[in-house]
Every structure is written in C-alpha cells, then in structure tokens.
Structure 1
Amino acid sequence: MRLGELVRLLEECPYPVQAVAARANIDPATIKRLLVESALDVDLDTIQKAVAAVRYLNYTSH
C-alpha cells in the first residue's frame, strides 16, 4: 500500500475525513496530516486502516 494511493482515495472519497477516521478508528488529525503533508511518520498499519475505511465507505455508498 503506497501513501499516494491513500491520498488519492481520500481526495476522491465523498465522505468527510471524520467519517473515514471513525470507520478506521484513528485520529482525524492523522488523516489530515497525510493529506496536507504526506506525513511519512505515519505507520503502515494506520495507512492500511484508512484505506480500508475509505474503500468500505465508497462501497456502501453505491
């Protein structure tokens, strides 16, 4: 899982960052840091949780 893929998914996601963070059970500030700074200090597990949350939300919205 690349950080770029997560950023792209988040940018395309119709849900607010708070919804993704709640679904992934992570701090919304972490996701915002990824979008703004492409923060490299975020661990892979957190990135994978966020990606899974975005995919889930996108899937259930159809």
Structure 2
Amino acid sequence: MTGDKKKAYPLRISAAVLDAMQHWSEDELRSLNAQIEYVLRDALRKAGRLKPGKAAPADDD
C-alpha cells in the first residue's frame, strides 16, 4: 500500500449481493473486505474518478 490510511465504514448491503461477493472473494482467494475494495476501486478507475497513484492493490485481509 502507498501509505493511505484505511477507514472503517459500516456498509448496508442486501443478503444476495453479500452472498455473491463472498463467493466471488473465495474464487479469487481474497478476503471479503479485500474483494469489496477491489471491486469499488476498479469501478472508480473505470469511471475516471480515482486519482492517479490511488489505485494500489488492497491488502488481503
């Protein structure tokens, strides 16, 4: 990581989406938290909303 501090954030998410993310994270050998962060970061990058240098890979929790 590039020195960015992690912040905790309570996330409300549907059971179906959470279950799908859990299975996806297992398939990718990531923690659920790391998978959610990866998906969010990828969406932000694709939308041009992530500043350069902020796309460091997530720590595998």
- Fold match, TM over 0.5? no
Structure 2 length as normaliser, TM-score?
0.35
Quick check: which one's helix share is greater?
1
Structure 1 length as normaliser, TM-score?
0.35
